[in-house]
Amino acid sequence: MSSILTNAGAASALQMLRSLNSQMSGTQRQVATGLRIEQASDNPAYWSIATTMRSDNGALSAVQDALGLGAAKVETAYEGMAATTDILAEFMAKVVSAQQDGIDKKKIQEELEQLKQQIVSISNSASFAGQNWLRSDMQGQASEAGAKTSVVSSFNRSEDGTVSVGTIDVDLSKLALFKNGGGGILQKEPDPDLGYGLGTIGGLLGFSTSGYGDVPGPVFDQPFTITKFDVVTVAFSVGTSNDTFVITKNVVDQALGGQIGYGFDGDIENTADWAKVLLQATFLNKAPPDILFAAQGGAPNIFFRATIPLAAELITVQPPVHTRTLPPEGIDILDIDVTDPDIDFPTITLVLDEMQQKVISAGAYLGSLRSRIAMQEAFGNSLADSLDRGIGRLVDANMSEASSRLKALQVQQQLATQSLSIANSDAQNILSLFR
């Protein structure tokens, strides 16, 4: 049936043309943007995932920048530490040379002063982005605030959607050549173990005794501290057998450390503590066949008693001999003066070797940090590439497929246009019937 009011063919052709135009618009957008899913309406789930991943990738890029900054700081500190190692080796050689007879120590001291200034210059200039890991503002020991810094290393998103930033911690106490107030690798170290000082060594200083049975021991007069540098050696005899007992910080810590109210600090607070330490030194640190006598008692009295097989023998205790391997505060490299007539070369050599070993350890620590940061940077780059590929799989358009589809839609559009033109010509055909 033909009608001049309703053209069903044209309406159908127009509907098809509209549908093709809509499809063509979407395909053209994919070709223009390269995205299959450009906005949330295209696919809400994939769009949400891709948008989140893009955000994470941006954060990861910032992490990579932070890693680059951290790597530069580590590299700067490492170069300074390596240079310091070489200077310390030369410093040690000069100090060893100064121990020769007939050598001009003033000339050597002049060279040492130049080396000192170079070490200070290195520690002052090893700075990057306002941070200097070789010259720290830390006061005293590593346990205090500010002893650590960190390098941002990762951006993490958990399964529940929470995010966190990972860091690589850097222990500055292992790196500082100089600290404000002392305690750096090349400085005197404030020693918390000094406590009360030695005093009379719990009454042992100048003490000697002889007798049978329970022989009175030293009279404890005041608290004192055995430091890690102190060795107290006491010679004694029981009958014809001679021996010694030795008191060190390790002995004190064995006797007292770990008890409630006590730390491993070498502090001896009272007579009861002192008796425990003497027992540890005379009895517990020896094999049973070697034990001749042991300290006994407690507050207020301490006494010495021979073991049962020797109970009838004469006990004689000699005055103690105290030695200190290092000054309690250590030695500052900037204070070393080989022209000092009282210089203790063996001690200076020992301290310089300890300093050098600490600097070498610090260099190894920085080397391991540098290696870890490099590995993290490589992983971060791989992870960023992986995220890009993952986002692409979700939302990128297949350009070959989109191009083919666009060409097909263009042909269909042309055909639909022709179809609409044909359908519109029906009215002209009806008009010809009335001519």
Structure tokens at 236: 């004694």
**Report field, pTM of the whole predicted structure over 0.75:** no
Cα–Cα distance measured from residue 328 to residue 193, given in angstroms and rounded to the nearest whole number: 9
Query: 3-state DSSP: the chain helix, strand, coil percent, rounded to 5?
Result: 50, 15, 30
* pLDDT tens series, the chain, 435 aa: 566 666 677 777 778 878 777 777 777 777 777 777 777 877 788 888 888 888 888 888 888 888 999 999 999 999 999 999 999 999 999 999 999 888 899 999 999 999 999 999 999 898 888 888 898 764 433 334 446 788 888 888 887 778 888 888 888 878 888 887 677 888 876 555 456 778 888 899 889 999 998 899 999 988 888 877 789 999 999 999 999 999 998 899 888 876 655 667 788 888 989 999 999 998 877 777 778 888 888 767 899 988 888 888 999 999 999 887 766 567 889 889 999 888 888 888 888 988 899 899 999 989 999 998 999 888 888 888 888 888 877 877 777 777 777 778 777 777 778 777 777 776 667 667 666
The structure tokens 């050599």 sit at: 349
Would you give the DSSP letter of residue 122?
A: H
Cβ count within 10 A of residue 174: 16
Task: Identify the CA nearest to 283 among candidates 333, 247, 335.
Answer: 247
Domain chopping of the chain, boundaries: 47-190+331-387, 194-324
CB within 8 A of 300, min separation 6: which ones? 271
Cα–Cα distance measured from residue 250 to residue 232, given in angstroms and rounded to the nearest whole number: 12
259, 261, 266, 271: CA torsion to nearest 10? -90
Would you give the DSSP letter of residue 282?
A: I
Distance of CA 388 to the CA centre of its chain: 32
**What is residue 9's three-state secondary structure?**
helix
Assign 3-class secondary structure to 292-349: CEEEEEECCEEEEEECHHHCCCCEEECCCEEEECCCCCCCCHHHCCCCCCCCCHHHHH
Second CATH level (architecture) for the domain 47-190+331-387: Up-down Bundle (1.20)
| One-letter amino acid of 310 | L
